[in-house]
A and B are shown apart, each in its own frame.
Chain A
Amino acid sequence: MTSYRFGVSVAWGYALGALLIIVPVFFVVEDPMSVLANLRIVDELADIGIVRDMDVGYGFIDGVPEVIAHSQRPLVWNLLILSILSILAAYVLRGVRQQLIASYVGVPARTPNQFTSYFYGRGLNLLFPFGPGELGMVQSLVEGGADEVAATTTIFYNRVFEIVGTVVFLLVGLVLSGWSGGLLPFLISIVVVVGLTWITRPMGDAAGNRNLGISLWRALNGPQIIAALGSAASRLPLLTGLTALAVLALLLEVAGLYLLKQAFSTREFHLLADLPLSAFVMAIAVANFARIIPFTPGGAGFYELAMVAVFLAYGGDSHAGTTVAILDGVVTNLVMLALFLVTLVWRQGRPAILETWRSFAALSRARHSGAPIPENLFRPDP
């Protein structure tokens, strides 16, 4: 019974992610063909006969020459590569941050897996909904010989500094935008966070609480975050350094986003040309907030929608905004996937993905039924 319900939940997570991407692109955006042209796909679709071309005489969807010509615009490969490197560096910095935190909480420096555990966890989050990655990170650290408490603490601190970095980044974006320009994106970010947390509120320890404020606070593990920050504040250089690392990682993501949109722009057709830099800062901040609670695999859908919402709030074009958001979602996920695969090869498949997933399912079922947390949660049987 519980497995059946858990299975339905997971299926729902996948379906929601797919819906959140497909519905806006094909049913909300006025001209989805323009988005596909920006992504350089229409030309290929015409080549394989999906988009109709009267002279050739096949295809299912009417194309427009402007759109087909747009789709043939060249890509700036150098910028694309720089963008990928920038996003890669952002993830590597997060891995470094986790290693620093591990040292701080007392995981011995020689313990294996400290660096790669981050990529293992994020990779798992890419494959499955509801974020089994944190459990995977813990299992990975424990597998390397770390103490269980130290492992969970490390993972939680890393999450705390991700949130702290994003908040700082949001404030920076707000200041850059000015109060009038940044207010709407800021409100959007609040709505995104509140909305997401509300629909997934029992993911923290807020199950059953009907007070929205308390529910939100607990869902985000607010009391624990305050406690963790209080604890870290006793070592100010560490607090500052970790926050700086978090902000730097986000800055690299902004650079990646900006380079990416430049790579898909041409002199005549510039994607989101009129948007200020602060729009991209806010877009990354809000989109990362949307991904903190991983309701769908990799936060797919939420991430892109949040980003588009910010672009629109800054007066961006919906086609260009959707294009850039999809591109960023795809590239960041592909970079993460590559790191994940390298990690799996490097670590020779330990812990196994399915073992972690089973542990995650067991943890979820135990919480739903109020049962004790399973004994072998962090050391699953092979």
Chain B
Amino acid sequence: MTLNIPTDTHVSPGSPRAFGPEILTSAPPLEVIWYGTAAIVWAVIGMAIVDGVVDLFVQYWFIQSLGFRTIFWTNLRAAATLYVIGGGVFAAAMGLPLRCYAGSAGLRRAALHLAAWAWIVGGWLAAGYYEEYLLALHGGVFGRADIVFGNDIGFYVFRLPFLWTILGIAWLASGLGMVTVLVARHDSLTISGVLSRDEVGPAARLGLMMNPAFYVLFCTFGLLGAFATYLTRFGLLYRDNEASGIRGGAEYLDVVGVFSTVNAIWVTVLVEVGITLLVGYKLYRLYKHYRPIEVSEAADTPRLLFRPLVLVVGGLLAVDAAFFVGVAIRDRVAVIPNEPFIQKPFIERHMDATVAAYQLANVQVVAWEPPDVALTPERLLASLTVQNAPILPGYSAYIESKSPDLQHALRYEITKTTMFYAPMLEVYEQQQQLRPYYRFIGVDAVRYHIDGKKKMFVSAVREIPSDRVVGPQDWLKNWGTATLLYTHGMGLVVSPANEVDASGSPLYTVSGIPPRTSETVFEGEPRVYYGEGGTGTYVLTNIRHLQEFDYATPQFRAEYTLPESLQTGVRIDSRFKRLVFALWSLTRSGSDFTAFLFSDFIDRESTRIHFNRSPLERASAVAPFLFLDDASIYAVVAERRLMWMINALTTTDGYPYSLRAQFGDKASDRAPSELQFPTRQINYAEDSTKVTIDAQTGAIAFYKITDGPIVDAWEHIYPDLFRTGSSMPKSIEAHLTYPLQWFHIQFDDVYKRYHQGNYIEFYNLEDLWDDADEVLGPIGVGLTSFGNSDESTFSVEGNHMLIDPSDLPDAGIESRGELEFAMVMPFTPEGARNLRSLIVALQDPGSYGELYSFRIPQGTFIPGPEQADAMIDADPSVNQQLTLWVRHGAQVVAGHTLLLPVHGDVLYVQPIFVKSTQNAIPQLRLFCVVYKGRVTMASSLEEAIRLLEVEGGSDAGRVVVAGGRQG
């Protein structure tokens, strides 16, 4: 009955018009919701497809421009295979049950949409595993078998991950199929009215919905689940059994005896299979039992008993639980009380695997007992290590951002920057930036041969960075200026790392715009189209009407056009490419869309687009499987060209028995967070690849410098990707460095514990190390609270220095003669601050990758860096001087405390930088030296060392202060 309400009646003139219930809102019918939703989903999928296709074209052109076209096709073939198979499985699981069993025509029609969505989304998800697929196909063997299951390690690294992927897809698809069968059958039974009949109870409903197709899918689902449980036994090889001293891998209880974890897994597998088959069979019987209700109107069926099934399933679960309890009891009674002896082979297995996986087996341990008698200042000054001491730091340091250290959050709150130590970057910005649009993104520690001698330098690349790196800037506001005019940076700035002028400022070997130098080794093409500052942006070159800005001249500016002969960038030589790049640019900046389509600057005959401009973006776009060490990207001049160098590693987290650690997670960062590479969990890595990128052309080369099962597999997959290490030009080889992130994880995460060769020592952590700390960064002007407090101390990371081998304790390399460019990192005992070990990695050709651990004997006290800093800080004269500066408004920056091995002894040098209120340029104004318990300070290193005038330590503790400039 409807309400009798007049809907269009005027009561009287001036009275409101009346409206009835027809104006009230109500819920739309399901069909309408469905069509609306389908339209939205198709619109979203359509946009995603357009985006994906655009991305595919851009990737292809990019990779083709670099000469790696085969990589693209290899990846595409693999991804397409997975897309078709994975997507097809999901589509079948979603669509077939609905098409076959749904009762309503609407749902059957919807099945086509749903199946298509399942194909698209499922295929997309499956295609993402193309790297695992390729490794499973091409991965070889490690030539080493795991002792528990007898499989070659290659099985775990290459094939097991893809087996899990296949299993996951099949399992999800069968689960999805079960759900869609239920939905379809429910729909069908609702349409036919069966479900609304009074005699159809819950059991009958259940039985009727679960038809034979459901039974098959259920059994598939259950059996796949059992197979997954079976595969979890391999997970025992990675299990964290830290309580038993095994931080990765199986322990005694896991694999030995009847009541072991591996047998518990077998029991669970059998229970799962049993339950699956029993329940599946019952479901099938249920369907057969109630089927007559569906086909006959008046069928009246007796009830089916479930109690036997419940009892059997309960019994099986009880067996499983009982076995698990048995394992737990055995652990308490027979295993834990006998630890660590009972775990000996397992702990040793874990230690050996970890040391092997982190390539630490070849670390040469050298006993280091510094002499009791102090060396004379003349002997100290005669040391080449001291003469080449890098008093100017070749790095910038940022508060760690990948795993926040709240100890330093207060520092961030006061300074508003994560950068806490970068004196050279600040000096270069003040003295060598010269124009507002130039920036130095970071500084590098490098070495060159000058006049036949190796010398260490600090260098930085002058770039015009993107707004993504430096934030919004006036000169980057306009599309034309940012992408057509300011296309490239200009050259290097280089300073010797061991010298300053009289004012404490660096000297310049290369400086100015365009770069000027008197050393031929630095001469070369200075233009920087590809660099860290180009992150997230593109530029266009060889355009109409306009030449690129090259550099400013006293008169006006020099202009430049990229030579046609250079093979660089992607040509925009068709309308189709313009359209594709216009769409591609939408994800970057909306205003570029019309510019790409209609700008008259773009000339189809000549214009090129340069994107993926940062070294990280470029290398990872070609070889995303590589771990790129973001802490050791640096630029050098080699072959008369400016080249970026990246250390790249091949990794896995599937190496049995090895410790898992986070790769790329150092205590402090060497780059701002925008320029960092994602961290990766690993338990095995190969320092296998060196990548070079030409700063002008973007040409990229991957040099495979070592063999290894993983890098060999990738070489097999991409035969055109790698060049041999021997083909690397000598001028590039001379600039190799050891990967800093790798050095960190090897020693600060692994070796500090795993150097303990004896299992008892390891189990009891009798000689655990810790990375040494130091006071670093500003200690004045609003930062007074950081002095002498935890907030001002940072872990010492790996640092480069030139070491005279004869200054090192006897390691058999004294006779090599030439200075070694080494990465060093000091360690202290855990919980103490005295020096325990100095780790040295050699980096020069011929000795690259040699690792040394120079160890102070336990029980011998040699101060660590933080103790040296404390001595300096506690010294009244030094303290008085620093306080004086701070009171006058200057900012005092504590420099990196150098630990210099000198003729087998230990000398500490801490440079102190000062930024006055008038002059914000950090100047190296003070050198503090700590030697044999004595502290001296002076305005030059030589002076400070000369003040150590007494040998033998007879008046140790006396402080000698030099005169001269002091504020």
A residues at B contact (CB < 8 Å): 1, 4-6, 8-10, 12-13, 16, 46, 52-56, 62-66, 68-69, 72, 104-106, 129-132, 134-135, 138, 148-150, 152-153, 155-157, 159, 198-203, 205, 207, 221, 224, 227-228, 230-232, 234-235, 268, 293-294, 360-361, 363-364, 367-368, 372-373, 375, 377-378
* B145 CB–A CB distance under 8 Å: no
Q: Tell whether A55 pairs with B406 under 8 Å between CB atoms, given A130-B25, A375-B1.
A: yes
Q: A9-B28, A62-B403 are in contact. List 20 more A-B contacts (CB 8 A).
A: A1-B190, A9-B30, A63-B403, A65-B412, A65-B418, A66-B673, A68-B406, A130-B25, A130-B26, A131-B25, A134-B24, A135-B25, A138-B24, A148-B3, A152-B18, A199-B35, A221-B23, A228-B16, A234-B14, A364-B26
Q: Report A176 CB to chain B, min CB distance, Å.
A: 22
Q: Report B432 CB to chain A, min CB distance, Å.
A: 28
Instruction: Check B25 against A134 for contact (C-beta < 8 Å).
Output: yes
Give the CA-CA distance A221 to B23 in the complex, in Å.
7
12 CB contacts below 8 A, A to B, read A6-B27, A65-B404, A149-B18, A149-B20, A152-B21, A156-B19, A157-B16, A200-B28, A228-B17, A235-B14, A364-B26, A373-B21
* A69 partner residues in chain B, CB cutoff 8 A: 409, 412-413
Instruction: Check A363 against B16 for contact (C-beta < 8 Å).
Output: no
Per a CB cutoff under 8 Å, which of A54, A152, A235 touches B19?
A152
Pick the 4 closest A-B CB pairs, nearest first.
A199-B36, A54-B403, A231-B17, A364-B27
* A198 partner residues in chain B, CB cutoff 8 A: 36, 39
Per a CB cutoff under 8 Å, which of A12, A152, A231, A378 touches B10?
A231
* A1 partner residues in chain B, CB cutoff 8 A: 190-191, 196
Instruction: Check A149 against B6 for contact (C-beta < 8 Å).
Output: yes
Instruction: Check A104 against B16 for contact (C-beta < 8 Å).
Output: yes
Give the CA-CA distance A148 to B680 in the complex, in Å.
67
* A129 partner residues in chain B, CB cutoff 8 A: 27
Instruction: Check A203 against B26 for contact (C-beta < 8 Å).
Output: yes
Interface size counted on chain B using CB atoms at 8 A: 53
* A159 partner residues in chain B, CB cutoff 8 A: 23
* B289 CB–A CB distance under 8 Å: no
* A152 partner residues in chain B, CB cutoff 8 A: 5, 18-21, 23-24
Q: Report B190 CB to chain A, min CB distance, Å.
A: 6
In the complex formed, the residue of A with least CB distance to B665 is: A54
Q: Tell whether A65 pairs with B19 under 8 Å between CB atoms, given A138-B24, A202-B28.
A: no
Instruction: Check A200 against B32 for contact (C-beta < 8 Å).
Output: yes
Most buried by B among A134, A153, A372: A153
Per a CB cutoff under 8 Å, which of A104, A130, A138, A373 touches B2?
A373
In the complex formed, the residue of B with least CB distance to A368 is: B29
* B474 CB–A CB distance under 8 Å: no
In the complex formed, the residue of B with least CB distance to A6 is: B27
Q: Report A31 CB to chain B, min CB distance, Å.
A: 11
Per a CB cutoff under 8 Å, which of A9, A63, A268 touches B404?
A63
* B408 partner residues in chain A, CB cutoff 8 A: 65
Q: Report B408 CB to chain A, min CB distance, Å.
A: 7
* B816 CB–A CB distance under 8 Å: no
Give the CA-CA distance A163 to B87 in the complex, in Å.
46
* B24 partner residues in chain A, CB cutoff 8 A: 134-135, 138, 152, 155, 363
* B453 CB–A CB distance under 8 Å: no
Most buried by A among B33, B405, B418: B33
In the complex formed, the residue of B with least CB distance to A229 is: B17
Q: Report B191 CB to chain A, min CB distance, Å.
A: 8
* A200 partner residues in chain B, CB cutoff 8 A: 28, 32, 36
Q: Report B415 CB to chain A, min CB distance, Å.
A: 11
* B302 CB–A CB distance under 8 Å: no
Instruction: Check A55 against B405 for contact (C-beta < 8 Å).
Output: yes
* B407 CB–A CB distance under 8 Å: yes
Instruction: Check B5 against A148 for contact (C-beta < 8 Å).
Output: yes
Per a CB cutoff under 8 Å, which of B2, B196, B412 touches A66?
B412
* B40 CB–A CB distance under 8 Å: yes
Q: Tell whether A65 pairs with B21 under 8 Å between CB atoms, given A200-B32, A202-B28.
A: no
In the complex formed, the residue of B with least CB distance to A269 is: B416
In the complex formed, the residue of A with least CB distance to B14 is: A234
List which B910-959 residues lie within 8 A (CB) of chain A: none
* B831 CB–A CB distance under 8 Å: no
In the complex formed, the residue of A with least CB distance to B23 is: A156
Instruction: Check A203 against B23 for contact (C-beta < 8 Å).
Output: no
In the complex formed, the residue of B with least CB distance to A56 is: B406
Give the CA-CA distance A52 to B662 in the complex, in Å.
13
Instruction: Check A64 against B673 for contact (C-beta < 8 Å).
Output: yes
List which B1-58 residues lie within 8 A (CB) of chain A: 1-3, 5-6, 8, 10, 13-30, 32-33, 35-37, 39-40
* B23 partner residues in chain A, CB cutoff 8 A: 152, 155-156, 159, 221, 224
Instruction: Check B25 against A294 for contact (C-beta < 8 Å).
Output: yes
Q: Report B525 CB to chain A, min CB distance, Å.
A: 35
Q: Report A235 CB to chain B, min CB distance, Å.
A: 6
In the complex formed, the residue of B with least CB distance to A360 is: B26
* B402 CB–A CB distance under 8 Å: yes
* A52 partner residues in chain B, CB cutoff 8 A: 403-404
* B30 partner residues in chain A, CB cutoff 8 A: 5-6, 8-9
* B26 partner residues in chain A, CB cutoff 8 A: 130, 203, 360, 363-364, 367
Give the CA-CA distance A58 to B838 in the complex, in Å.
31
Give the CA-CA distance A13 to B93 in the complex, in Å.
26
In the complex formed, the residue of A with least CB distance to B187 is: A4
* B399 CB–A CB distance under 8 Å: yes
Instruction: Check A62 against B402 for contact (C-beta < 8 Å).
Output: yes
* B376 partner residues in chain A, CB cutoff 8 A: none
* B401 CB–A CB distance under 8 Å: yes
Q: Report B107 CB to chain A, min CB distance, Å.
A: 11
* A150 partner residues in chain B, CB cutoff 8 A: 18
* A375 partner residues in chain B, CB cutoff 8 A: 1, 3
* B5 partner residues in chain A, CB cutoff 8 A: 148-149, 152
List which B801-815 residues lie within 8 A (CB) of chain A: none
Q: Report B843 CB to chain A, min CB distance, Å.
A: 29
* A135 partner residues in chain B, CB cutoff 8 A: 24-25
Q: Report A114 CB to chain B, min CB distance, Å.
A: 15
Instruction: Check B36 against A372 for contact (C-beta < 8 Å).
Output: no
Give the CA-CA distance A63 to B402 in the complex, in Å.
7
Q: Report A154 CB to chain B, min CB distance, Å.
A: 9
Q: Report B340 CB to chain A, min CB distance, Å.
A: 24
List which B748-798 residues lie within 8 A (CB) of chain A: none
Q: Report B696 CB to chain A, min CB distance, Å.
A: 31
* B402 partner residues in chain A, CB cutoff 8 A: 62, 64
Instruction: Check A55 against B407 for contact (C-beta < 8 Å).
Output: yes
